Every structure is written in C-alpha cells, then in structure tokens.
Amino acid sequence: MSVAAGVTPSKEEVKRPRPRRPRGVLDQAWPFLSLVGIVVLLTLVLGNASGEIITYLIQALVTMIVTIGLYVFVGNSGVLSLGHAGLMAVGAYVGGIMSIPVIQKSTLLPALPHFLSSTALSLWPAALLAAVVAGVVGYLVSIPISRLSGLGAAVATLALLQISQVVLINWHVLSSDGGATPGVPVDTTTWAAVIGVVIALAIAYLYQRSASGIRLRASREDPVAARSLGINIPRERRRAFTISAAVAGLGGALYAHSVGTVSAADFFIATGFLQLAMLVVGGINSLAGAVSGVLAISLITDFFVQLENGQGVGPLKVNLPNGIETAIVSLLLLLILIKRPAGLTKGQEFRLPKRLGGRGALADAELEASAISSTDVAVATPTDDPGVA
Amino acid sequence: MKTVIQYAIDAISSGGLYALLALGLSMTFGISRIVNLAQSELIMVPAYLIMVTAPWAAPLVILVAIVSGIVLALLMERFAFRPLRGADETTLLVASFAVSLGIQSVVEAAAGDKAKGTDFGGGLNNGIHFLGLTVAKLDVVEIGITLVLLLSLLYFLKRTTLGVQLRAAAIDFDMAELLGVRSQRVIMLAFAISGVAASVTAIVVVAQTGSLTPTLGVQPLLVGVVAVVVGGLESLGGAVVGGFLLGIVSVVLSVTLPQGPLQYQDALLYLIVIIVLLVRPQGLFARGSALERV
Amino acid sequence: MLLEVQDLTVSYGPVRAVRGISLSVDAGEIVTIVGPNGAGKSSTLMTIAGEKCRPAKRGQVQVGGSILLDGERLLGQSADRIVRRGVSIVPEGRRIFATLTVGENLMVARAARRDRGDAEREMRDLIERFPALGTSLHRPAGHLSGGQQQQLAIARALLTKPRLLLLDEPSLGLAPMVVEEVFEIIQELRDSGLAILLLEQNALQAMEIANRSELLRNGRLEEIDSGRDGQKMLAAYFGIEAVKVP
C-alpha cells in the first residue's frame, strides 16, 4: 500500500514497513546544514556588535561545542552523564596549558615536566591535542561507566565529577596554588569558535548516522530487543562516550583560549548543570536540541545577567541580585521537564520541508509510539531517524 | 593526639549524621523513586534561618529550623515532584538537581556567596570531663540528638501502623495503594521526615562549624548519597548502616591518609561509590536491585 | 449487578490493549476471564482496580468507557479510593512486601481501612481460614513458599473488606495441588457472598469453578457458553467445533 507524499501515516500503517523514496543529498544533510546555517547566520548578524555581545557569543558557541559533545553520548544512549564538565576540564587544561608562552610557563607551573613547559602550541594544535587527550580519558572512564544505566550512571558520573574536581584542585602540576592558572593566550575569535561548532556538529552528525549510532539509539529505545539483535551495548556506549569526550575536550580548549585562565571551579557542578539544562530544554534526543537549547538558555541568562549588572536591557532597567539567572534556568528546566519533557525540539532534528524536496517533519506520535514495546506493534524503530533505511 | 575513644566518638557522631541523611534520602527514594539532590538545600536553608534567628532562645531556634525543613520539603514535593509523579528516575534526578541549584542561587542572591558566621551553639564547645576523658559538650549533644532522632524514626517505622504503611509504600508503592494506603499522605510524610533529618543535620553543622555558605549542604548530601548507594537504595535499614559505616570510614581515612589535602579523602569516597555501583549495584545490604545494570 | 463494565477501552498511545469490552459480576458469583497472553486481561483488571488511571502515567494511558460499582463511578478514581469503595485486587505475581513480616503485610491492609473493626476477631477468622499464615506471623513474607504467599496475598486483600475481589492469575507458578487449594478458597469466598472476577490462563480449572466464563482475545470479549462440560469448554476456548479428549 503506497503512501501518498505528505500524508501522515495512519495508525494501521505504522505497523507495516512503508516503502521509502530515495532522497537527495540536500535532504539527508539538511539536519546538519540547517544547524550550521543558524550558527553562521547568528555570527554574521552579531559580528559587528559591541565587545560585550561578542564575548557572550563566543561563550555561547564554546558552550555549544561541549553541549553537542554531551548530546553525542546522552542523546544517543539515553544514559545520563553528570560528569561531562570534567571532560571539558581535561580539554581546557591540556589545551590551555600547552599554549601558555614558554617564558611564563615554567614560573607559573614549576611542577610541569620540562618537555611540556618548553613548548607552546598555537590555538588549533593545542585544541586538537586537547580533544585527543580528552578522548583518551573519556575512553578510560567509559570502561566502567558503559556498564551502568539510569540512576547508577548518573550517580557514578556525578562521583567522577567530584573526583575530577579534587584532582584538578590538588594536582600541583596543573596549578601552582590550587587556584587559577592564567597566561593562556586569548585567541578564540568568533570565527574560531564557529569553526569549532561546525567541527563538533559534523562529528555529532556523522556519528548519529553511523551504524554505531543507530545501534546505540536502538539500545536506548529498547535494551532487551537491542541485545537480542546482537548489539553489544557497553561497546557502543564506550564509542559514543569517547567521541563525546573528545568533542567536549575541544570545547574546553576553546573555552580556555577565550577566557585566558583555567580554573577548576569553572568545570564543576554549576557548569555541568547548565550544559545539561541546555540539552534537556532544547531536546535531549536531538542534535538540533543541543543547538537550540544553548541558544535559548544563553539568551535568557545573558538577558538576566545584563539586568543584574545594572545595565538594563532596552527600556528595562531593573537591578536584579547576582546569581538569579541560575534560578531562572532552574525554573525553566523544571517547567520543561513537567510540561514538555522531550524539549523544545521534541527530540526531532530539523528536516527539509517537503516543498523543497525533502520528507518534511515526521509525525512525532507514530514514531514515539512505535518505540513502545507491545505485542501489537511491529519492530521498534529509533525515535529520530536520520534517513538511513 | 586523640585517643581511640575520641575517634570512636567522632565516628559515631558523624556516622549518626550520615545515617540520618541517608535515611531521609532512602525514604524519599523508596517511595517516589527520587534521588533527592535538593536535600542539600533542606540542610542549607534551615542553617541560614538558624543564623538569622540565633539571638532567640535556643529551643525556639531549633523549632524554627525543623519547621522550616519540613515546610521546604513539602513545598518541593508539591511543586516540583508531584507534577512529575510517574516520570522515570533520571528525569526526577535532573529535576531535583534543578530544584537544588535554583534554591542555592536564590539564597546566594539574597545573602551573597561569601561565608557568613554565627555563634549559635558556641557555648557548647567547652569540654566536659568524665572517665578521665575530655569530650566536647557539642559532641555529646550531637550524638544525643542524632541517636534520639534515629531511634524514634526507627521506632516509628517498625512499631506504628503509619510507619508500616510507609515501609510498605517504600517497597512497592503501587501495591500499597492497591491495599488502600493513602499514597499522597505517605509521600508527604516521607518528605517531611527527610526535612526533619536534614534540618537536624543543619543544627549540628551550624553548631559545629559556625560558618555558612550557600553550598553548605552539598558536601553532607554527597556523603549521604554515598551512604545510600553503599547501603542499598531500597533498604531503609541498609541506608542507616551505610551512614554509620561511612562515619567510621571517614574517621579512619582522616587518620591513615597523609596529612595532605583532606580532599583526596573525598575523592576516595567517590571512588568507593563507583566501585560499589559496578560490583554490587543494589548496595551491600539490600536484596534485589534498585539500580539497573546493562 | 455489583460490577458493571461498559465499553471499556485501554490504550497505550496508539496501541489499543482493550477494545470496548463489557462485562458484569454480581455478588456471590465467580466470573472468569480466560485468554492468551497479551490479550488485555491484566490491563482490564488493573484498570478496574484503579492502577492505570493515575495522572502520573501522564497521558501515556488513555481509558474510556465506564466502570460502575453499585451504580457509582469507579473510573478515574485513585486506587486507594477504589479500595475503600470495596474493590480489592490480588495482582499478578502476588506482590507481597517481601521484607515485611506476614503480620506486617496484613497490618498494611487493615490500617488503611476507615473502620477499625474488631482486630482480634478478624485475625482469628483469618488464621482459621489460612492456617499456614497463623504460624508464620513473624516471619518475613519473602520466606514463605509460593502457595503460602498466594494465601497471604488473598488474606491481605480480604482484610480490606472488599465486596468485589479481583484475582489476576492466582495459579501462576504454583504446584497443581496447591492450585487446587487456592481454588477451593476462591469458591468458599464466592459462597460467602463475595463477587469475584478471576483471570486465569489455567482455563479449564477456572472455567470449572466459574458461574460464567468469558474469553478475551485481541482485546475483545466473548462469552463461552459451555455449562460444565470439559470438552465443550476446550472447544470453545480454541474456537473449534469439538475436541476429543482421550
């Protein structure tokens, strides 16, 4: 039974596999291209604004990289990680410290081994190194974590975050006095940040479409069914976690190069919470969710921070106490969890509209329903379908 | 150089605190599947209120602290967790995370993030001498309070009909409902109890350290979480035992670990959590498993 | 009729587990529903007991139709209110509180009632009917054998003073001799005036003690009119003309 283009399948039809039309490259790459487009557009529009707005923009873009990294693991596996701020920290410290000019390095970090303090890398080599190191750390961490689900994983990753904080503060190699380590050259330009975001998006998108990504999402929807198909769930999770760690590390390095200082407190609970909140608000199961969540929450926090600084926004000049923006984000997160748990994007990616040759937005209900295991319904399918038949 | 007995007293007093916290956490988890990270705020907010009301008579201050703990806990239940009833455990965890940080930032906005001091309970720092030992009055009071509270809670749970209903609901909430147990009341009761446990902890912490920051509750909470994971999320008794165990472990660690930064001691505790989660996710004492494994 | 169910539908999203079934049960009779797994039997029972109707299930379960107990609406009420109205369920798998003692399990059921009644006399009557429980009041319920646990589950449900008793697969996992005992108890309860809705895969035995039997297939109910003839029952169950039983 053929389905006319543009007609949402009725409930009976969901049960039978539909014949799929072959799709053009534009349609397949649209979820990726649309996000790149949004980011580039935003940067062009804000590119000539005041210095403060530029700072916010760079911060948002850098956070976006880390959140995309978070999505790669959390969104595809359905397992929560509260510890990604620690992976960001690895990237920040590696990418930051490697770039500190040689003259300063040995004084700032006397405990640093000589071969490290005698070299200084520029932004991109440092960032690359940071991503690799973070990826390795991520892989090692994923060995135990990949065996845990649900609450166990959440608690374990929280524990890891705590451990990372202790190490970062106390390891003398990283900072001379347990405080901040300054001296990182501030060379993350807006376009550097954009490039970072595009790289992160590309990695995330390619992973999402890869066989490993599909298998992981299958395990998210129905672990038992996935296992019966021969999917090795811990292995897929390790892969995703490693990739997600590398991306987070990249973000961390670019972050370090945007503030000029690496300090353990920047990579602790508040940061981790914010990144998670952004992902959840945007839509935990989709890449578009990572991007939109970061944009939405950055907008809101910047709005409130402006009010807190006493600078006012437009005609609005209220003096809000410091720190209130976290309360607002918390409230927003709670509301989303209650009213719209799938987030702003409802866990869907952006699709090329039918008018331009794409397949249009897929009806959420049928896809979510098909994931509920029941004797009445045929094979469970992953909720967001990047177009691989 | 402290004597063994002094160490034992330390272990019992911090163990009792952790046991209280763990009991509160275990109760709210058992009944509504929430790992309530916001319990740290149930400690912090009463602590700040103690600071504010410190000039008043001590019994009144204590009353304010406990009532505020209960009220805050019930508010949390009503507005954050009740709308999410039936949601999965990680969603509830994230929600409690949000509540926790939200309250922290409100307090920070109101009172600033710098440490504040108070001398509530300062008079108790004198020692009393008996049996050839010098024991701080504070320690005695603290042990007294926590043990009394623990024992009364345990009595309540074991011997009263309401307590049995609560335990039944913690084992199988839906089944308890199917026997006529009033679910809403039981949930509120569990939260109120965790509020009491947390506010008593606050009283002790304030009297001991005399200094408050908005993140005051985070450390105790995390130790409570460790205790509950180790003792078994589903077992109220296991949580209590886990708390005492941790009290002993932390004293042992502070003695055996080099006098470096005490923080490595924390890192070790968290490492223990991870190991337990991997090896025996249901905790050392519970039967059956609360936490899924792949 | 004590219980009147009309056009009950239960859906999980687009999946319709129960599609418009109607049945009724009167005091002093056993109605049994037999049928293959996944046909919607448990969903029906749980919905009557109020398990599915909590707003907590958040739109994932949609229920339609009407359930009346003595003319009063049950659908949409919370489970504990339904119990107070006089409906009690012994769910699949018994679900006793394993770490509580037998006595505490019973205490839970009694404590939830509004009328305290005569606790002593109730306990004596109970122990008369379920002697196995009387000797294990202080043992953890998890230590009981399957048959004893089933007795505990039924005793517990009875302590809520129901007018309608719902039983979901009481014979599951029990040895045949034990199953007989359990079914005897169920018949005694019927004879004492209780309305009983019994779900069973153990079709033959269930149909033997039932006043009326219904077959639930693919969410739809068909009454089996078979009298007490075993062969006719089997035939009706499998939907064929006749069965030759050696």
Q: Taking residues C171-185, report their average pLDDT.
A: 87
**CA gap C59, B222 in Å, rounded:** 35
CB contact under 8 A, C15 and A377: yes
Interface of A with B in 166-225 (CB under 8 A): 166-167, 169-170, 223
**A70 reaches B (C-beta below 8 A):** no
The string of pLDDT tens digits covering residues C54-79 is: 444 445 677 888 888 888 888 878 88
- pLDDT confidence tier of residue A67, bands split at 50, 70 and 90: very high
Q: Judging by beta carbons within 10 Å of its beta carbon (0-12, 13-18, 19+), is residue A168 exposed, middle or buried?
A: buried
Q: Judging by beta carbons within 10 Å of its beta carbon (0-12, 13-18, 19+), is residue C116 exposed, middle or buried?
A: exposed
Q: How many residues does chain B have?
A: 294
Which of A162, A219, A280 is the mutation pick for testing B, counting most B CBs within 10 A? A162
- pLDDT for residue A388: 34
The CA-atom distances, in angstroms, between A263 and each of A185, B16, C222 are 15, 35, 71
Query: Min CA distance, A247 vs chain B (Å)?
Result: 23
The CA-atom distances, in angstroms, between B237 and each of B154, B228, C104, C224 are 9, 10, 16, 51
Contact yes or no for C215/C222 (Cβ under 8 A): yes
- pLDDT for residue C147: 86
**CA gap B244, B262 in Å, rounded:** 20
Residues of B with CB under 8 A from a CB of C: 85-87, 161-162, 164-165, 167-168, 171-172, 174-183, 235, 287
- pLDDT confidence tier of residue A342, bands split at 50, 70 and 90: confident
Q: Taking residues B149-159, report their average pLDDT.
A: 88
**A353 reaches B (C-beta below 8 A):** no
**B19 reaches A (C-beta below 8 A):** no
- Tell me which long-range contacts A297-305 makes (C-beta under 8 A, separation of at least 24): A297/A329, A297/A332, A298/A56, A298/A59, A298/A60, A298/A63, A300/A325, A300/A328, A300/A329, A300/A332, A301/A325, A301/A328, A301/A329, A302/A56, A302/A60, A304/A328
- pLDDT confidence tier of residue A302, bands split at 50, 70 and 90: confident
- pLDDT for residue B291: 41
Query: Min CA distance, A211 vs chain B (Å)?
Result: 20
CB contact under 8 A, C97 and B168: yes
Instruction: For residue B267, list chain A residues with Cβ-Cβ distance below 8 A.
Output: 162-163, 166-167
Query: Min CA distance, B31 vs chain C (Å)?
Result: 13
**CA gap A14, A377 in Å, rounded:** 8
Task: Name the percent of chain A lying above pLDDT 90.
Answer: 27
A231, closest residue in chain B (CA to CA): B294
- pLDDT for residue B128: 62
**CA gap B128, B169 in Å, rounded:** 44
Instruction: For residue A372, list chain C residues with Cβ-Cβ distance below 8 A.
Output: 12-13, 15
C111, closest residue in chain B (CA to CA): B161
CB contact under 8 A, A14 and C12: no
Output C239 or A159, whichever has higher pLDDT.
Answer: A159
- pLDDT confidence tier of residue A39, bands split at 50, 70 and 90: confident
Q: Taking residues A158-182, report their average pLDDT.
A: 80
User: By mean pLDDT, which of A353-357, A379-383, B250-254 is the weakest?
Assistant: A379-383
What are the φ and ψ backbone dihedral angles of B111, each rounded to 5 degrees? -115, 0
Is residue B273's pLDDT more than 90? Answer: no
C218, closest residue in chain A (CA to CA): A376
- pLDDT for residue A135: 95
**CA gap C224, C31 in Å, rounded:** 11
- pLDDT for residue A10: 58
Q: Does the complex come out with an ipTM higher than 0.90? A: no
User: By mean pLDDT, which of A304-313, B5-14, B121-130 is the weakest?
Assistant: B121-130
- pLDDT for residue C197: 93
Interface of A with B in 145-164 (CB under 8 A): 146-152, 154-156, 158-160, 162-163
CB contact under 8 A, B104 and A326: yes
- pLDDT confidence tier of residue B188, bands split at 50, 70 and 90: very high
Q: Which chains touch C (3 or more CB pairs under 8 A)?
A: A, B
CB contact under 8 A, A377 and C17: no
The CA-atom distances, in angstroms, between C223 and each of A86, C21, C220, C226 are 63, 11, 10, 9
**CA gap C216, A16 in Å, rounded:** 25
A339, closest residue in chain C (CA to CA): C58
State the amino acid at position B236 in one-letter form: L
Contact yes or no for B118/B210 (Cβ under 8 A): yes
- pLDDT for residue B133: 63
Which of C58, C89, C111 is the closest to B86 by Cβ? C58
Per the DSSP assignment, residues forming a β-bridge with B127 are B136
H helix intervals, A78-149: 84-99, 102-108, 114-117, 123-145
- Across all residues in chain C, what is the average pLDDT? 81
Is residue A376's pLDDT more than 60? Answer: no
CB contact under 8 A, C97 and B183: no
- pLDDT for residue A373: 32
CB contact under 8 A, A365 and C13: yes
CB contact under 8 A, A376 and C15: yes
Which of A237, A273, A338 is the closest to B101 by Cβ? A273
C80, closest residue in chain B (CA to CA): B180
- pLDDT for residue A316: 67
- pLDDT confidence tier of residue A260, bands split at 50, 70 and 90: confident
Is residue A74's pLDDT more than 60? Answer: yes
Is residue C195's pLDDT more than 90? Answer: yes
- Structure tokens belonging to residue B215: 């993140």
**B110 reaches A (C-beta below 8 A):** yes
A272, closest residue in chain B (CA to CA): B97
Residues contacting A124, CB < 8 A, separation 6+: none
**CA gap A151, A138 in Å, rounded:** 20
DSSP B293: B
Instruction: For residue C17, list chain A residues with Cβ-Cβ distance below 8 A.
Output: 374, 376
Contact yes or no for B25/B194 (Cβ under 8 A): yes
Query: Min CA distance, A136 vs chain C (Å)?
Result: 41
B181, closest residue in chain C (CA to CA): C112
Range list of β-strands (E), chain B: 116-117, 127-130, 133-136, 211-212
At residue C167, the 3 state secondary structure works out as strand
Which of C15, C16, C37 is the closest to A372 by Cβ? C15
- pLDDT for residue B103: 93
A154, closest residue in chain B (CA to CA): B90
Task: Name the percent of chain A lying above pLDDT 70.
Answer: 81
Instruction: For residue B225, list chain A residues with Cβ-Cβ distance below 8 A.
Output: 155, 158
Q: What is the dihedral of CA A106, A109, A114, A117, to 10 degrees?
A: -70
- pLDDT for residue C245: 55
**C16 reaches A (C-beta below 8 A):** yes
- Structure tokens belonging to residue B118: 């108070």
- pLDDT for residue A19: 55
User: By mean pLDDT, which of B137-146, C140-149, C194-203 is the weakest?
Assistant: B137-146
Is residue A20's pLDDT more than 60? Answer: no
Query: Within 13 Å, how many C-alpha atoms sit on residue B79's CB side?
Result: 10
What number of C-beta contacts closer than 8 Å exist between A and B?
A: 139
- pLDDT confidence tier of residue A246, bands split at 50, 70 and 90: very high
Q: Taking residues C215-224, report their average pLDDT.
A: 73
User: By mean pLDDT, which of A55-64, C115-124, C149-158, C169-178 is the weakest?
Assistant: C115-124
DSSP B113: S
> Residue A297: enclosing H or E segment and its boundaries?
helix A287-308
- pLDDT confidence tier of residue A148, bands split at 50, 70 and 90: confident
Which of B171, B179, B183, B185 is the mutation pick for testing C, counting most C CBs within 10 A? B179
User: By mean pLDDT, which of A12-21, B167-176, C196-205 is the weakest?
Assistant: A12-21
- pLDDT for residue A248: 96
**CA gap C72, C86 in Å, rounded:** 11
Query: Min CA distance, C16 vs chain A (Å)?
Result: 8
- pLDDT for residue B127: 61
CB contact under 8 A, C14 and A375: no
Instruction: For residue C51, list chain B residues with Cβ-Cβ distance below 8 A.
Output: 174, 177-178
**A319 reaches B (C-beta below 8 A):** no
C59, closest residue in chain A (CA to CA): A339
Q: Taking residues B76-81, report their average pLDDT.
A: 93
**A318 reaches B (C-beta below 8 A):** no
- pLDDT confidence tier of residue A255, bands split at 50, 70 and 90: very high
- Structure tokens belonging to residue A44: 């062009």
Query: Min CA distance, B29 vs chain C (Å)?
Result: 16
Contact yes or no for C96/C146 (Cβ under 8 A): no
CB contact under 8 A, A327 and B105: yes
The string of pLDDT tens digits covering residues C8-34 is: 888 877 777 788 888 889 999 999 888
Is residue A278's pLDDT more than 70? Answer: yes
Task: Name the percent of chain B lying above pLDDT 90.
Answer: 20
Is residue A240's pLDDT more than 90? Answer: yes
User: By mean pLDDT, which of A118-127, A175-184, A325-334 is the weakest?
Assistant: A175-184
Q: Taking residues B29-51, report their average pLDDT.
A: 90
Instruction: For residue B281, list chain A residues with Cβ-Cβ distance below 8 A.
Output: 148, 152
Q: Which chains touch A (3 or more CB pairs under 8 A)?
A: B, C
- pLDDT confidence tier of residue A381, bands split at 50, 70 and 90: very low
Task: Give residue C91's region: left, alpha or beta (phi > 0; psi -120 to 50).
Answer: beta
- pLDDT for residue C57: 45
